[in-house]
Structure 1
Amino acid sequence: MVVLSHPAALNELFLVKASCKPSSMFTGVPVVDLAHPEAKTLMVEACQHVGFFKLVNHGVPLELMTSLENEALKFFVQPQFHKDKAGPPDPYGYGSKRIGTNGDMGWLEYLLFTTNPEVVSPKTLFLLHQNPQSFRSGVEEYTRAVKKVCSEVLELMGDGLGIGSREVFSRLIRDERSDSCLRINRYPACPELSVEVEALSGRNLIGFGEHTDPQIISVLRSNNTSGLQICLQDGTWVSIPPDHTSFFLGVGDLLQVMTNGRFKSVKHRVLADSSMSRLSMIYFGGPPLNEKIAPLPSLMSSEEESLYRELTWREYKSAAYKSRLSDNRLSLFHKSPTATH
């Protein structure tokens, strides 16, 4: 429970002007049936115009998703002193309210696990070994299942783009050194703030501030509590109706680089609620740390120039950790207009 000892400071850190409004260009979240013959075409269209889509018939059992959700909730309802033993994050492990090291704050607590065998995190090792085996096996089984879906989606995207090798994206996720991670966010209900929020007409409680995901692709599953919003290309924020049976996939910064801007990494945020708790699980598909990332020549005509310089995931990840959530990290890697002359 949060004590409102400094309401003014809290308002500044956790409240944002509500700017969610209808858009004439947005007719709803693009929905892709993974088993549909035209799935690859629908994915490409969604990634080009929205950077985000809902995936149905993905093949991951609902029981597997709800099982991990329940295990995570068992952890989150424990006394704070017990949870704090797995934090502060390094960056993996347990964290609360503070997002990163640069001053970003959110109304949430979270668990962050790495799937990279080259990264040893004492916090996550402690976390997994101090909790029931069912929790550890739940994380592992869920991660394996979502990784499989993620790889299949990326291969269909490759087909849809007409790239020579359909594995050009998926091989980066399937690599045994893939630097992917799983994040479980819990946005507690905050009845203590309901009066303050209502008093500030047109303001909302920020759970996770606006940002793009730096990896290749993100696969999100949440409970049936609303709060997720995405920013359209015209700058309009729209709310995404929750669906606990489906996945929501978002283009990451690296996929925008590899497609030379054809796919757009989607800016998004989460608004917390004064009466309902939200829990989300996000798999971030990332390449090996030393993988070189650049626009794919097979997607570019002879007259087209690369918008981004070559980078490694290690380099980009480091820049992401040093930035604020809302910073445009990709701008640091844009090619200079004179670079090709």
Structure 2
Amino acid sequence: MNSTNDFDVLQVPIIDLSLLQRDSQERPLVIKQIHQACRTVGIFAIINHGISETIIEEALNVNKNFFDLPLKTKEELMSHDMYNPVKYGVYQDQDGDQGILRSYLKLYSHPFEKFGPLWPANPPDYREKMGKCAMDMRKLSIQICGAIMESLNLEATYLEEKIERGVQMVAINSYSPISRSNKNLIGTAQHSDFSIITILLQSSSGLQVMETTEKTWKSIPLIKGSFLVLVGDLLEVLSNGEYNAVLHRVIRTSGDETRLSVAGFQSLEMDEILEPAIKLVDEEHPKKYKGCCLRDYLGYRDSGESKPFLETVKITSAIIKE
């Protein structure tokens, strides 16, 4: 099997957030760049985002320290409850000889005053350092969501209050080095995220996205100091299919070092139904999706169904004609 170096690289659009200031003459151009990125590839990188290198490095380091803890300590956080605000787990290599291929920690993070005290108490500085990063990522998500609303010709404040009240969940993944030669392993299987957007920080490369035109997997290069923004299922619903949730996965190759990723998923409140924006539905663009909420998604995941959740809320052409 080919190595990840044999996959084509996708040159993701790079958005300079410092140009999104209200008085910036470049703001309209940046909004157009965001529209093009969301519409064509479903992913873009952001620079000059305002989160300090110190906060980023401390978040990566404190998560590395967490995953380096003895397994017995981490197992205390294991849970099969989809609604548990703190959950640790592992995925094994299906062939068995690589052991644990990926460990993860999923954390509800907003409001931090409610969920922060439930986070791991070890390492002792985990809540402080990871908490700073999570709160900054949430502020960043709200800013980017406003720009994305504008890119859809909606008001920048469209859904703003609901997004501010919404659920933020942070998922940290630790991908172990693999030793087997000449074989790629799936670190995370292909999927899209149930979110409006996902903000992603990664310590090294490995992320791949499905390029929609050629229907091939493309590797995403690591852009130091940047975050990636991924279009999620909820944004596809909201935009009535103008933007498509990006299908992505993680590939691990022999010789790769441990890879850490921190993903912030921005959704609405648990029972807040999201439907396509009325302004984006007309005779030429009929409603393509039913309303859905986070509780619907979690219940579907808990049922063990394998079909992507987004497929269950798509309205077929037959239903549209009726």
When the two structures are superposed, what TM-score results if normalisation uses the length of structure 1? Answer: 0.81
Structure 2 residue runs without a partner (length 5+): 20-25, 94-98
- Report if the CA contact (8 A) 1:152-1:170 is conserved: no
Q: CA RMSD in A?
A: 2.7
Question: How far is 1:126 from its partner?
Answer: 5.8
Structure 1 residue runs without a partner (length 5+): 1-14, 100-104
Taking a change above 3 Å as real, the CA distance of residues 19 and 264 of structure 1, as seen in their structure-2 partners, is: farther
- Report if the CA contact (8 A) 2:184-2:254 is conserved: no
Taking a change above 3 Å as real, the CA distance of residues 181 and 339 of structure 1, as seen in their structure-2 partners, is: same
Q: Percent identity?
A: 25
Question: How far is 1:173 from its partner?
Answer: 2.6
Structure 1 residues 221-300: aligned runs within 5 Å: 221-223=201-203, 225-233=204-212, 234-275=214-255, 276-300=257-281
Structure 1 residue 57 and structure 2 residue 40: aligned?
no
- Report if the CA contact (8 A) 2:205-2:221 is conserved: yes
Structure 2: distance between partners of 1:54 and 1:106: 30
Question: How far is 1:269 from its partner?
Answer: 0.5
Question: How far is 1:255 from its partner?
Answer: 0.5
Structure 2: distance between partners of 1:161 and 1:126: 38
Taking a change above 3 Å as real, the CA distance of residues 72 and 19 of structure 1, as seen in their structure-2 partners, is: closer
Taking a change above 3 Å as real, the CA distance of residues 230 and 77 of structure 1, as seen in their structure-2 partners, is: same
Paired residue secondary structure (2:76): helix
When the two structures are superposed, what TM-score results if normalisation uses the length of structure 2? Answer: 0.85
User: Structure 1, residues 169-208: CA drift from partner, whole Å, max 9, x if none?
Assistant: 4433311xx22200111101122xx24xx2xxxx411111
Matched residues, number: 302
Paired residue secondary structure (2:18): coil
- Report if the CA contact (8 A) 1:106-1:207 is conserved: no
- Report if the CA contact (8 A) 1:113-1:181 is conserved: yes
Question: How far is 1:289 from its partner?
Answer: 0.9
Structure 1 residues 153-168: aligned runs within 5 Å: 153-163=144-154, 165-168=155-158
Structure 2: distance between partners of 1:42 and 1:106: 40
Structure 2: distance between partners of 1:106 and 1:50: 31
Aligned letter for 2:310? L
Dislocated runs of 4+, deviation >4 Å? 15-20, 124-127
Structure 1 residue 207 and structure 2 residue 187: aligned?
yes
Aligned letter for 2:87? G
Taking a change above 3 Å as real, the CA distance of residues 272 and 54 of structure 1, as seen in their structure-2 partners, is: same
